[in-house]
Structure 1
Amino acid sequence: MTPPPRDPPSGRGCLLRLAAVALTVAAILATPSPPAAAQSQWPQARLTGVHPPSATRGSSVVVTLTGSDLEGVDSLRFSHPGFQVEKTADLTFKITVGTDVPLGRHDLRAVGTYGVTNPRVFTVGARPELVEREPNDTVELATPVPMNAVALGTIGQPTDLDHYVFEATKKRRVTLTLEADRIDSPLDASLRLFGPDGQPLAEVHDTIGPDPVLHVVPPHDGLYIVQVRDVTFAGSPGHYYRLVLHDGPVIDAALPASARPGETVELTLFGLGLGEGSRPLNDPNPADFHSPPLEARSLKLILPPETARDATQLAIPTLTAVGDRSGFLVDLDGETTAPKPATPGHPLVRTRPHDPLFLALADPELLPIAEVEPNDGGPKASDPVQTATLPLDLSGAFQTPGDRDVIRFDARKDQVWWIECQAERIDSPALPSWVLQRIDPAQPDQPARDLAVPPDSLDLGAGARWPSATVDTTLRWVVPEDGVYQIALTDQMGSTRGDPRLRWRLVIRPETGRHEFAAFVAPASPTIHDAVTIPAGGKEIAYVHVQRRMGFAGAVRIEAVELPAGVTCRPVVAGPTQSLVPLVFEAAADAPRAVGPIRLNASSRWPNDETTHPGRLAAGEGVTRRVIPGGLIRPTPNPPFGAARVSREFPAAVRDPKPAVVSARPRRPGGGPEDGPPLAIAVGSILPYRIETRRAEGIAAPIVVASESFAPNLPAANVTVPPDQTQGVLALPIPSNVTPGLYSFAFNATLTIPFSKDTNAAQKPNINVIVPTETLELDLRPAVVTLALEPAGALELKRGGTLQIKANLTRQNNFAGPVTLEPMPDATADPAAVAQTLTGSVMIPGDASQGVLTLSAAAEAPEGPLPGLALRAVAEVDGVKVAFVLPVDLKIVP
């Protein structure tokens, strides 16, 4: 066997970054999002660094925080209760790690005057730790590090170089792994190794994501130097890292690549130092100290059940695993990390790679299997391939240069299959490319006929707020005819490499109509963190990103099942084309100034759905899933380059009020504020909303209220409420090419105010403040009529008089029923008063396309314009009242 490269090929990191950037840029251009507007400059506590970022179990360490808007930080919030915290100075805390705290990575947040911060990783390690000794910019000043220890350092400025010295024994393998990206640091590190003679021996970069890992077999006894630098020549107090030096076991890969919970799985592990029962896969090369021989080890593991996977011990004492709803993490040295961020059957978000081996969670109905060689196929249909039966969950590897894996199966006409080939999402450096082919068994000497080549899996709708683009491929395949088919897989760099760690996973599942989706918390903007700080007596907004798959395109309802004291949040619905849905959290004026967790559930079916929204939900059995917390780790003004990950919790802080409160109505057109059902609105309508504002004392600034594009083809709309007014009307156009469905959305209001953290400051600079309205709800339906009015333009109606308006209907979608034309006062300043003083209604029969509406104004009707007034043409379709709405410019005159 050709000796495999020790480190996963470095080309993948670069290729993936370029591909992910390109896909994300394209997705951002196509993703509905709030309109471009000024970013909020209201203070929000942000955490950029924790120094040092780790400690050993049972020890104490003093940490210093870095970030912005950290005034008044008096406590830390961990994702595990086993940490004790004592404040020792401003932004300095003594942390004591309990002996029961699991090894691995935990979330740490700070809590202060300006709310709760985003999380930063705090690692609990098993190996002794030391802090770099500055200055160590030169080889002569290198910080000594013993074997099996961790050095904690910082690239504090762009020109900074850190050097460490360690003693190594000839032919005894040493592993150097640097953790930066994996612990939320922006450091893009490189490791460079120098031998005892001072000559450079090796340099690595981008091994696990951007983090480098170097394995060496020292050619001589002696002292070796390792240099740490940032390859982009960046540096700051936030560019910190953990440098782990060890000679312990390393797991790189396993086959099969997936497993089912609660079952015994037979794995073949690939890596280094795998212990008893391991076997070398190639002979050591004395001339290549950078390629220790790869080992394999076979193991049987009893995986924890799906209902109890957190920190569950496996049957083999030397192995431990932790897992979440997407899979399991297996480690040989007892140092485990956080669960993989995904959900059952939906491992679509690979945001942070982890050191322990990741086993993907297989569907219960699929038995994971490994490829069987030889299966390279060839120019003839009779060449050796692997046969399989659909559905399947099959994993393999490109083990030698030029390796080709061919999987053959039968399929029946009109069956619909979803085919996924995963590599990036199972932490593999492979770049699989595959083609679907047709085989004619009657002509075994004929080559296969190509049918389809899959596209990359594009970003799933959250754009820069939750980057989820992947170079893994997905294809929906409708079988054209009964027959024999095959998938031929190759590595895009296969001519230059081959390695058992170049794994792929092929999953083929039928389209069953199941409600397949996952939901994640996303920040309100690509330039902010995930933290939510709610002003007392006011509102704050966050978003949920809904990822649908396997053909599911239905509505998903998001509901809070746990909230901090004094905080409320209305349920919202993500429509069929809506991947980002807002959640607005409102705190009572007397809500405790405290921090508490938020837990959210996402459901594809909910109580009374057919009563409230008949016919609006996808057929099939409903599914409820937990909304997974998470957010951006490093927001950036250049959104495509943001980084996101899941977190252990979604907390919120209640703090002092903001300078304005904004609301909008109607929340549900045609229905009450909470009861309904709401009136369905026809696409093509223009729907007016009454905007009501309340400014704090001393604030006299215009408030610009803008809509968000919650569905494709929906244009932005806005209204400005002048400083001397408190109300305005926003007319929301709903073009006829918007996809019908249930939608929730909110308006965002922006005002500019003078502000300083120093309340006694003589001069206060202007800042932008953004506040949301409550969430609003629309049930959009296809239009069965459109409406044109005569006379058009401004109308006048005398008090005590009447006004005739001619209505011209255009019927659509074969609708031939009656239509009722009537005023719609929902968005006027006083809907109840308008309804009493302005009356009129006309029913246009099913065989007519015209009618005359006579409006009557009571003698006591108040004089003046009626902004927000609309006329609606209401038709009943399949038992549902659907309204086509147009604003009308009407003035009551003497």
Structure 2
Amino acid sequence: RPCLQWIVLFGFFVVAVQSQPIPKLTSVSPEWIQRGTTSVVTLEGENLSEVTGFIFSGEGGLTATNAPPPAYSANLESSRGGIVPGEDDERKLRVSVTVAPEAPLGARELRAVTATGVSEPVIVNVDFLSQITEREPNNDTNHAQLVELPVAINGVIRESAESDFFRFKAQKAQRLIFDVYAFRSGSPLDSSLALLDADGKELVRSEDVNGLDSLIDFTVPHDGEYFLQIRDFRYQGAKDFKYRIVAGELPCLDGIFPLGGQRGKSVEVSLRGRNLDALSKMKLKVEPTAPMGQQEIRARTAKGYSNPVLFDVGGLAEFTETEPNNALTNANAVTLPVVINGRINGEKDVDQFKFKVEKEQTFIFEVEASRFGSPLDAVLYLTDAKGKVIQQNDDTVGADARIEQRFSEAGEYVIRIRDLLERNGEDFAYRLVVRPPKPDFTVSFFPDTPRLYRDSYTVVGVEVQRQAGFDGAVEARLENVPAGVTAEPLLVPPDSTVSPMIVLHASEVAPLGRHLIKLAASGVIDGQRVNHEGRPEANGRAVREAFLTVLDKPPFTLEPVTLSARTEQDQSTAVEVAVRRFEGFLGEIQVTAEGFSSGKEPLTRNVELKPVTVRATDGRATLNLKAKLDSETGTRLILFKGEAKAEGQTVVQYSRAIPLTVDPFPFTLANSLPRLAITALPPDRKSAASEAEFSVKANRRGWFTDDIRLKVEGVPEGIVINSTNITRGASEAAYRIVASDKAPAGKEVSLTIIGSADVNGRSYQFRAPPLKVTINAPASENGSDQAAEKTASAK
């Protein structure tokens, strides 16, 4: 008895541990932290009371621990100990974050960890400035919050018509920058920023400099105190109207040129901005191992760092335009492939570049401007050597244009670029990338935080994005999975439209805890094997890392009894799954099936199914899967999913995968008309008004060519319709319908054409959409049958 009691108690203990909730993060405040400091931030989300650790992804230099509760001005003390002040809100958690003095500036992903899982990430940013959070009340000059420049101010316009005021001291001749980040950070705030003197007189106001974000460049006229005011331009406000103001005598970059450089080469970059200490040019060396693509660069002076701007690292040869090149006669000559760096700078400026191609060569001409923050709204023209336009494009990717052209003839051609609205300026920079199409692929996988119980299964979805005609197979495999966990490698065939799944299984001795996992993918392109690292996704958003959590034995498991399933479009099949319960768990379990259709579309896009409730006395569940008439055909993997409540928390379990095959329905039918009208007339009244014609069309699928037998359902008395079939190889059959005076005049009836055929010993039946037939009453005897005939003809 004691042994049995211990086993039952242990069973309840296992259920309690495994049903602990998974941590979820929705936000962090503040989002910016000064390097070389320790700051307390507040995480918001769900199930945060059991958090025991934190993970940072990205550049290093950050650590975090749980912060103690805030100090209260008054406290309570217990007589026997063991009772201490605490926060009872599981939706908030105070965290102490330490940033090393040498930590690189920029964003990091922060996740919370418990014994039962890893949260999705939130973003924290490392800055060099002191960080201030606005404190209410600060809504007028009398209550303005005192700040010391330079500083980064983080605040929220919470209510309509609210303004936040800040007070600071400045010295004569200082050139101060006040740069708002709201619109650029996804905030709905449309900022209006103003500087006021000590008497409250407005000196300058700014709106819509960087998108909807304000920017003030202010030279201090005399020593003294000044006020900074921020509000929404529309006088709106809400808890998500967040802003960040970078304020002080700081360097500020308006732009750089060129916007990028070639890997392994040096490039001289010109700088435009304020407080740059006469720094107008800088030579950059792009290392051969520099990461390809965009990255942030900053100017650094004795006063600090500037705002970041984007710089592109490419692999092609670079060319910088030279003026004049506005006409065909002075177009710059370039050799393809190439990246052309240019600016639309000057009234009605147009940049033209001439090049030569061989017959049947294909090239892509792609403008990269708006993605770097350039205001250029590019229009591209591809012309022959005489200026005849072959193709033009505007706004393929945002405001960036793109042309792809296969050249049927060798020779010289010209690519021309201008701004759509004929605007211009030093900041209208662009990169025009000219390259042949390069077949390639990328791979993503999800979720980024899978959880796997011992002696059980879970699944990771994989999506392959094919580029430039790549049609080869892709192999994908999870790496870094711990001992005792198996994840079979996956082969995605060339014609697959379904997102495949990697099914993971943990043995009874798999090591518990979290494990960093990666996905490796490979394919063959032009005879060479190409390897790519898969990109993890959290709720459709790309993230840096993925973590597998292995948990102890669950309260129940699922095991398929049906090892494979097969059905046809518009048909059903039954599948069975066994449920195994462990000591102490008697709760109801909702069982369903999961899988993918095209891309990330769920299984239910193609298959109709209803969950089944498994009660404590049941050991099995039977699911009815019906493939929709337009279901994608072929074979895909599906899993059984069980969901139950244990100790007030949701526990989810998966079975191993089984194949589900959907075969095409041999044919479908459609009427040539959705409705028609006839008139009920005696047989001796010869009139076209009592007759009508329509046809039934068959859509044969796959290899099916046999006869389709037809019958009509719903024919009332007084209506005569001929019998017919769709013969072998034919695609339609004609019907003639005649109404007599016994037909139900003044009513609408529905006729349904039913087609049937025998295929491989099975009988298939399809019902066409109903045909609506309006039966008109006969006209009067005064000879107005012509009107009825016109009505029938019109219908």
Query: What TM-score range do you get, normalising by the shorter chain?
Result: 0.5 to 0.7
2:28–2:42 Cα contact (<8 Å) kept:
yes
Match of 1:165 in 2: 167
Match of 2:392 in 1: 453
Match of 1:142 in 2: 144
Unaligned residue ranges in structure 2 (runs of 5+): 1-18, 70-86, 88-92, 615-619, 668-699, 706-728, 730-758, 766-795
Helix, strand or coil for the counterpart of 1:425? Answer: helix
Q: CA deviation at 1:367?
A: 0.8
Change (3 A) 1:132 1:787: closer
1:369 aligned onto 2:319: yes
Match of 2:534 in 1: 627
- In structure 2, how many angstroms separate the alpha carbons of the residues matched to 1:227 and 1:589? 62
Q: CA deviation at 1:437?
A: 1.7
User: Deviation per CA, 1:461-503, whole angstroms, max 9, x where unpaired?
Assistant: xxxxxxxx74433332111323332222122233xx4222222
Match of 1:418 in 2: 364
Select 1:562's aligned residue among 474, 480, 488. 480
1:84–1:95 Cα contact (<8 Å) kept:
yes
Change (3 A) 1:653 1:707: closer
- In structure 2, how many angstroms separate the alpha carbons of the residues matched to 1:659 and 1:151? 50
Change (3 A) 1:439 1:71: same
2:558–2:653 Cα contact (<8 Å) kept:
yes
The percent of aligned pairs where both chains have the same amino acid is: 24
Change (3 A) 1:385 1:68: same
Aligned pairs for 1:745-756 (under 5 A) are: 746-747=638-639, 749=641
1:515–1:620 Cα contact (<8 Å) kept:
no
Change (3 A) 1:651 1:473: farther
Corresponding letter in the other structure for 1:415: Q
User: Deviation per CA, 1:493-517, whole angstroms, max 9, x where unpaired?
Assistant: 33xx422222221111123xx5422
Match of 1:207 in 2: 210
2:591–2:640 Cα contact (<8 Å) kept:
no
Select 2:284's aligned residue among 279, 298, 301. 301
User: Deviation per CA, 1:807-845, whole angstroms, max 9, x where unpaired?
Assistant: xx999599xxxxxxxxxxxxxxxxxxxxxxxxxxxxxxx
Match of 1:78 in 2: 56
2:189–2:242 Cα contact (<8 Å) kept:
no
Select 1:487's aligned residue among 415, 418, 433. 415
Aligned pairs for 1:71-470 (under 5 A) are: 71-79=49-57, 82-87=61-66, 88-89=68-69, 91-112=93-114, 115-155=117-157, 161-168=163-170, 172-179=174-181, 186=187, 188=189, 190-196=191-197, 197-199=200-202, 201-205=204-208, 207=210, 212-217=214-219, 222-229=224-231, 233-236=236-239, 241-276=243-278, 278=279, 297-306=280-289, 309=290, 324-333=291-300, 355-363=307-315, 366-377=316-327, 381-382=328-329, 384-440=330-386, 448-454=387-393, 456-457=395-396, 470=398
- In structure 2, how many angstroms separate the alpha carbons of the residues matched to 1:170 and 1:484? 60
What is the total number of aligned residue pairs between the two structures?
Answer: 623
- In structure 2, how many angstroms separate the alpha carbons of the residues matched to 1:385 and 1:98? 52
Change (3 A) 1:231 1:548: farther
1:649 aligned onto 2:545: yes
2:567–2:573 Cα contact (<8 Å) kept:
no
Q: CA deviation at 1:394?
A: 0.6
Range 128-137 or range 653-662, more displaced: 653-662
- In structure 1, how many angstroms separate the alpha carbons of the residues matched to 2:183 and 2:54? 22
Unaligned residue ranges in structure 1 (runs of 5+): 1-40, 279-296, 310-323, 338-353, 441-447, 458-468, 524-529, 606-617, 633-643, 670-680, 760-766, 789-808, 815-848, 850-872, 874-883, 890-894
1:54–1:125 Cα contact (<8 Å) kept:
yes
Select 2:608's aligned residue among 699, 706, 718. 718
Q: CA deviation at 1:716?
A: 0.9
- In structure 2, how many angstroms separate the alpha carbons of the residues matched to 1:515 and 1:683? 35
Corresponding letter in the other structure for 1:426: F
Q: CA deviation at 1:181?
A: 7.1
Match of 1:499 in 2: 425
Q: CA deviation at 1:407?
A: 1.8
2:177–2:247 Cα contact (<8 Å) kept:
yes
Change (3 A) 1:661 1:507: farther
1:694 aligned onto 2:601: no
Helix, strand or coil for the counterpart of 2:613? Answer: coil
Corresponding letter in the other structure for 1:555: A
Aligned pairs for 1:573-584 (under 5 A) are: 573-574=491-492, 576=495, 578=497, 581-584=500-503
User: Deviation per CA, 1:173-200, whole angstroms, max 9, x where unpaired?
Assistant: 32223445777x7564624113214327
Match of 1:518 in 2: 442
Change (3 A) 1:470 1:581: farther
Question: 1 or 2 for the larger relative contact order (CA 8 Å, sep ≥6)?
Answer: 1
Aligned pairs for 1:839-878 (under 5 A) are: none
Q: CA deviation at 1:215?
A: 3.7
After superposition, the CA RMSD in angstroms is: 4.6
2:587–2:646 Cα contact (<8 Å) kept:
no
- In structure 2, how many angstroms separate the alpha carbons of the residues matched to 1:703 and 1:231? 52
Change (3 A) 1:244 1:576: farther
- In structure 1, how many angstroms separate the alpha carbons of the residues matched to 2:376 and 2:250? 25
- In structure 2, how many angstroms separate the alpha carbons of the residues matched to 1:591 and 1:158? 55
Match of 2:726 in 1: none
1:602 aligned onto 2:580: no
Q: CA deviation at 1:146?
A: 2.3
- In structure 2, how many angstroms separate the alpha carbons of the residues matched to 1:668 and 1:100? 57
Helix, strand or coil for the counterpart of 1:629? Answer: strand
1:255–1:370 Cα contact (<8 Å) kept:
no
TM-score by length of 1: 0.60
- In structure 2, how many angstroms separate the alpha carbons of the residues matched to 1:663 and 1:158? 57
- In structure 2, how many angstroms separate the alpha carbons of the residues matched to 1:509 and 1:667? 49
- In structure 1, how many angstroms separate the alpha carbons of the residues matched to 2:657 and 2:559? 9
- In structure 2, how many angstroms separate the alpha carbons of the residues matched to 1:146 and 1:712? 51
- In structure 2, how many angstroms separate the alpha carbons of the residues matched to 1:191 and 1:123? 25
Match of 1:551 in 2: 469
Q: CA deviation at 1:261?
A: 2.3
Structure holding more strand per residue: 2
1:706–1:718 Cα contact (<8 Å) kept:
no
